[in-house]
Amino acid sequence: MNCISQVDRPDSTLFNGDCVEVIAGLPENSVDYSIFSPPFSSLYTYSNSPRDMGNSRTDAEFFEHFDHLVRELARVIKPGHNVSFHCMQLPTSKERDGYIGLKDFRGDLIKAFQKHGFIYASEVCIWKDPVTAMQRTKALGLLHKTIRSNATMSRQGIADYLVTMRKPGEVMDKVEHDDLPVDEWQRLASPVWMDINPNDTLQFRSAREHDDERHICPLQLDVIRRGIRLWTKPGDVVLTPFLGIGSEAYCAVEMGRKAVGVELKKSYFDQAVKNLDALAAQHDMFATA
Ligand SMILES: C[S@@+](CC[C@H](N)C(=O)[O-])C[C@H]1O[C@@H](n2cnc3c(N)ncnc32)[C@H](O)[C@@H]1O
């Protein structure tokens, strides 16, 4: 296994390595839930490593690489348990794709899981402010001047999604929530989450490396907490193949689950370890207060 290093704690195991290789070393049917935000095809490159799934020349190359991960997930997830991935539809560009429009990245990810037998089980749309997106990306379709001058080129903002795929089979250790009141359930069951704060993320600045760093976009903690809340129970193993700076592992540990995470890039991995250290320090402080 090409794992550079590993940090073990009673409540987490974090690997600095390639997720396909690390997960291939995990036992079959050993993971209760997986939640992650994959590289968005070739939209952002995180490092110049050929193992970086964001370092793909084409979408086909990304999905060829991603397929190896889904195969391993299909092996390690327990029957009847879920995998949730965060994604968005991807804007195309005239230079790269020859046209301005959208690619059905969400649909392609769903198909990648269906190919390995997963059931498309659930999804929630996460609202994003089109004004913020317009200010950040200056996308032609979002500009007010486009609606005034060439309206057929205008478009809606692009939402985020949390898509959940279920491994077929009978659940052996059921997740039963006696403590989830009906009003909370109704909020979680909403097909659109309007109340996710885009800035509710772990801090990442110190994870930035010079020229090979392009982008890290930590997943909002509340999105992760809701997935973990719905589909796991305390003590369950929560796996994230794309640990980044540790958001999914952080929420898993905070909620009394056991986190397993893999990150390729050393600077992000180190930041993830620091974020989990900070959480452990907080726990210790409360325990001694
Ligand atoms: C969208 S980011 C994940 C961010 C994470 N959800 C967080 O909140 O910090 C995707 C991550 O996948 C990592 N990555 C790309 N290819 C990988 C691979 N083969 N194995 C492990 N990590 C990989 C990138 O370095 C990047 O940190």
Residue range 20-62, pLDDT digits in tens: 999 999 999 999 999 999 999 877 778 888 899 998 889 999 9
Q: How many A from CA of 40 to the centre of ligand 1?
A: 10
The amino acid that residue 287 corresponds to is A
CB 192 within 8 A of CB 123: no
Please give the angle made by the CA atoms of 156, 162 and 164, to the nearest 5 degrees: 135
- Which value, to the nearest 10 degrees, does the dihedral of the CA atoms of residues 84, 87, 88, 89 take? -90
Q: What is the pTM of this model?
A: 0.95
CB of 72 within 6 A of ligand 1: the answer is no
The parts of the chain modelled with pLDDT lower than 70 are 1-3, 204-215, 289
CB of 51 within 6 A of ligand 1: the answer is yes
Q: How many A from CA of 84 to the centre of ligand 1?
A: 15
The CATH number that applies at residue 26 is 3.40.50.150
Query: Domain span at residue 100?
Result: 5-288
- Which value, to the nearest 10 degrees, does the dihedral of the CA atoms of residues 102, 105, 106, 110 take? 140
pLDDT of residue 287: 75
Locate 4 and state its tokens: 């550079």
User: DSSP secondary structure string, 185-198?
Assistant: HHHHH-SEE----T
Q: How many C-alpha atoms does 152 have within 13 Å on its Cβ side?
A: 0
Atom in ligand 1 nearest the alpha carbon of residue 247: 8
pLDDT of residue 55: 87
Into how many domains does the chain fold?
Answer: 1
Q: Among 46, 200, 201, name the best residue to mutate to test ligand 1's pocket (greatest count of ligand atoms within 8 A of Cβ).
A: 46
pLDDT of residue 2: 60
Nearest-Å Rg of the Cα atoms of the chain is 19
> What residues have CB less than 8 Å from 282, skipping those under 6 apart?
none
